[in-house]
Chains A and B, each alone.
Chain A
Amino acid sequence: MSFHANIPRRWSTDDLPQPSVAIRSAAASIWNPINGLLEWFGELGMFIWQVLRSTFRRPFEGLELIRQLDEVGSKSLPMVAMAGAAIGAVLALESRHSLVQFGAKSLLPAAVIFSIIHETGPVITGLVVCGRVGAGIGAELGSMKVTEQIDAIEASGVNPYKLLAFTRILACIVMLPLLTLAADFCGIITGWIANTAAEPIAFYKFIHAGFAGTGFSDFLAPTFRTMVFGLIIGVIACFQGMRSQGGTEGVGRSATSAVVLSSLFVMLADVILVKLILVFFP
Chain B
Amino acid sequence: MIRTDPAVPPPQTKRSEIRVKQSSARPDNAQQSGAGLAMQVQGLHKSYGEQKVLNGLDLTVGSGQTVAVLGRSGTGKSVLLRLIVGLQKPDAGTIQIQGQEITNANLEEMNEIRKKMGFLFQHAALYDSLTVEENIAFPLRRHTEMTAAQRSERVKDLLASVGMEADLNKMPSDISGGMQKRVGLARALALEPDILLLDEPTAGLDPITSGEIDELILKLQEEREVASIVVTHDLHSAKTIADRIVLLHEGNAVIEGTYEELEKSTDEFVVEFFKRDS
Query: Interface residues, chain A, CB within 8 Å of chain B?
Result: 59, 143-144, 147-149, 151-159
Chain A residues, CB < 8 A from B143:
156-157
Q: Which residue from A149, A155, A159 sits with its C-beta under 8 Å from B87? A: A155
Check if A157 sits within 8 Å of B115, measured CB to CB: yes
Check if A155 sits within 8 Å of B107, measured CB to CB: no
The chain B residue with its CB closest to the CB of A54 is: B107
Q: Which residue from B86, B115, B127 sits with its C-beta under 8 Å from A152? A: B127
In the assembled complex, B121 has its CB within 8 A of some CB on chain A: yes
In the assembled complex, B128 has its CB within 8 A of some CB on chain A: yes
Check if B128 sits within 8 Å of A157, measured CB to CB: no
Q: Which residue from B112, B123, B128, B138 sits with its C-beta under 8 Å from A156? A: B138
Interchain Cβ contacts under 8 Å between A and B, 5 examples? A154-B87, A156-B114, A156-B119, A157-B112, A157-B139
Which 5 pairs, one residue from A and one from B, show the smallest C-beta to C-beta distance? A157-B114, A148-B125, A152-B125, A157-B111, A155-B119
Distance in angstroms from B257 CB to nearest chain A CB is 29
Check if B138 sits within 8 Å of A149, measured CB to CB: no
The chain A residue with its CB closest to the CB of B197 is: A155
What mask results when residues 133 to 163 of chain B are scored 1 for a CB within 8 Å of chain A, else 0? 0000011001100000000000000000000
The chain B residue with its CB closest to the CB of A154 is: B87
In the assembled complex, B85 has its CB within 8 A of some CB on chain A: yes
Q: Which residue from B86, B107, B121 sits with its C-beta under 8 Å from A148? A: B121
What mask results when residues 4 to 21 of chain B are scored 1 for a CB within 8 Å of chain A, else 0? 000000000000000000
Question: Which of A143, A147, A153, A155 has the largest number of chain B CB atoms within 10 A?
Answer: A155
What mask results when residues 100 to 128 of chain B are scored 1 for a CB within 8 Å of chain A, else 0? 00000001000110110101011101111
Chain B residues, CB < 8 A from A152:
119, 121, 125-127
Check if A159 sits within 8 Å of B127, measured CB to CB: no
Chain A residues, CB < 8 A from B112:
157
Question: Which of A144, A149, A152 has the largest number of chain B CB atoms within 10 A?
Answer: A152
Distance in angstroms from A49 CB to nearest chain B CB is 12
Check if B107 sits within 8 Å of A156, measured CB to CB: no
Check if A147 sits within 8 Å of B111, measured CB to CB: no
Bound CA–CA A224/B127 (angstroms): 35
Chain A residues, CB < 8 A from B117:
155
Check if B142 sits within 8 Å of A157, measured CB to CB: yes
Bound CA–CA A150/B128 (angstroms): 11
Q: Which residue from A149, A154, A156 sits with its C-beta under 8 Å from B142? A: A156
Chain B residues, CB < 8 A from A151:
82, 87, 121, 125
Chain B residues, CB < 8 A from A159:
107, 111
Bound CA–CA A156/B121 (angstroms): 12
Bound CA–CA A148/B114 (angstroms): 16
Check if B123 sits within 8 Å of A148, measured CB to CB: yes
Chain B residues, CB < 8 A from A157:
111-112, 114-115, 139, 142-143
